[in-house]
Amino acid sequence: MKKAYLEFVVGLFLAIGIGCLAWMSIKVARKEFFARKGYQVQAAFSNGSGLRRGTPVVIAGVEIGRVESVGLADYEARVRIVIQQGVVLQGDTIASIKTKGLIGEKYIEFTPGASDKTIKPGGVIRETQPAMDMEALIGKYIQGNLAKPDDKGQPPR
Amino acid sequence: MKTLRCRLLALVAVGVSLGACAGEPTTQLRATTDKIIALLQDPALKTEARNSERRQLIRKELDQRIDWATAARSSLGRHWAKRTRAEQTEFVSLFSRLLEETFIDKFQTYHGELDKFEYLGEKILDEYASVKAQISTKDHIVHPVEYRLQKSGQDWRVYDVLLEGVSLVKNYRDQFDEILAKSSYEKLAADLRAKIPQASP
């Protein structure tokens, strides 16, 4: 009787442990067992670097959706986003890719607009602002300085 | 300052434009920028005496191509609906005057920095279009530009410009949102009025 009880407790402990591991794996990988309640919209970014499935979408810092998938279409990043039911997006909502801190993870910020039209389920967010390419900007700054003509007006070699 | 200069070039551009897949939005955009660059390069209009005339001619071209009402409404964002009809009308006027004054001031200091302006392509989605372009300056710097246009009758009119991926409307929307979060619309309108020279027509 006592042995059976001990085996039951050990078994229960093991089951709880496996359950915790499974829960952590799901959370870390941001997988969902059940379809998220909401509606889907699309957005195209000329630079979608850092976006992946599960990337949060926020308005005023509050999460209102997540990226469902990221693909390439017509040499642009085509992003599918699932928005929480009840969140209304105006036709001129701007979706911009931001970074948490200087080198943190990417997220998408929606800035509400003023249009009378709203984005319907399956619709497209046409106003997008791509991720800032810091390397290109820094490179341009450096190159710009180097490329300035010399004092005699001659272009650099 | 440098960004503003680039935005100026983005608005002006094209004296030496190289064409690519020119649809209706690109063709109309090019027509306006061609006219503006011609006005800027016209030696007869560069004199001090004809300065005001040149400003008015540029303003006329900008008014025809830029959809000030949409740009202003979108820049005010979620605060637009809270304003009365009279305030909305006033805001469109203030916003357009602010941008015009800012850009036209910069036009006065334009000395032919533009080297090359290339249209890279356009996309049309219902009554909206985006035209991608790149500006090369004489000091060998290339700036990507994207125009966002909306069809109004037969005309395609610009309501936003992205330079280096940064949207003009988003920039103003963030600033107005910040000001309105801290103070009132009256304060914002007063700030805008203060930035517009009273002497200008």
Q: What is the mean pLDDT of residues A19-41?
A: 75
Q: What is the mean pLDDT of residues A22-28?
A: 77
Q: Which site among A120, A129, A146 would you substitute to test the B interface, given the most B Cβ atoms closer than 10 Å to its Cβ?
A: A129
B73 CB within 8 Å of a chain A CB = yes
For residue A63, is pLDDT > 60? yes
Q: What is the mean pLDDT of residues B171-196?
A: 91
Four-residue CA torsion sign, B102, B103, B107, B112? positive
The CATH architecture to which A38-133 belongs is: Beta Barrel (2.40)
Q: Which pLDDT score, from 0 to 100, does residue A2 have?
A: 75
The verdict on a CB contact (< 8 Å) between A127 and B80 is: no
Q: Report chain A residues whose CB lies below 8 A from the CB of B139.
A: 144, 147-149
Secondary structure (H, E, C), chain A: CHHHHHHHHHHHHHHHHHHHHHHHHHHHHCCCCCCCCEEEEEEEECCCCCCCCCCEEEECCEEEEEEEEEEEECCEEEEEEEEECCCCCECCCEEEEEECCCCCCEEEEEECCCCCCECCCCCEECEEECCCCHHHHHHHHHHHHHHCCCCCCCCCC
Q: Which pLDDT score, from 0 to 100, does residue B43 have?
A: 81
Nearest CB to B165; choose among A47, A112, A124? A47
The verdict on a CB contact (< 8 Å) between A126 and B125 is: yes
Q: Report chain B residues whose CB lies below 8 A from the CB of A127.
A: 148, 160, 167, 169-170
Instruction: Tell me the pairing of strands A94-99 and A127-129.
Output: parallel
Q: Which pLDDT score, from 0 to 100, does residue B100 have?
A: 84
Q: Report chain A residues whose CB lies below 8 A from the CB of B151.
A: none
Residue A78 pLDDT grade (very low, low, confident, very high; cuts 50, 70, 90): very high
The verdict on a CB contact (< 8 Å) between A147 and B140 is: yes
For residue A29, is pLDDT > 90? no
The verdict on a CB contact (< 8 Å) between B162 and A129 is: yes
Q: Report chain B residues whose CB lies below 8 A from the CB of A124.
A: 125
Give pLDDT tens digits for A106-146: 999 999 999 999 999 999 999 999 887 776 667 666 655 44
- Residue A49 · residue A31 · CB < 8 Å: no
Q: Which residue has the higher pLDDT, B200 or A47?
A: A47
Q: Which pLDDT score, from 0 to 100, does residue A30 have?
A: 59
**Which residues of A sit within 8 Å Cβ distance of B?**
46-47, 90, 92, 94, 96, 111-115, 124, 126-127, 129-133, 137, 140, 143-144, 147-149, 155
Indicate the length of chain B as a whole number. Answer: 201
Domains, chain B: 2-195 (3.10.450.710)
Q: Which pLDDT score, from 0 to 100, does residue B199 have?
A: 38
Q: How far is B160 from chain A (nearest CA, A)?
A: 9
Q: Which pLDDT score, from 0 to 100, does residue B11 have?
A: 53
The mean pLDDT value of chain A amounts to 83
- Quote ipTM for the complex: 0.76
Give pLDDT tens digits for B165-179: 889 999 999 999 999
Give pLDDT tens digits for B53-65: 888 898 899 899 9
Could you give the C-alpha distances from B6 to B3, B62, B141, B187, in angstroms and in order? Answer: 5, 17, 10, 29
Tokens representing residue A103 in the block = 């080198």
Q: How far is CA A85 from the centre of its chain?
A: 18
Q: Which pLDDT score, from 0 to 100, does residue A155 have?
A: 42
State what percent of residues in chain A have pLDDT above 90: 52
Q: Report chain A residues whose CB lies below 8 A from the CB of B173.
A: 94, 111, 113
CA-CA distance, A91 to A83, in Å (whole number)?
15
CA-CA distance, B33 to B27, in Å (whole number)?
10
Q: Report chain B residues whose CB lies below 8 A from the CB of A147.
A: 139-141
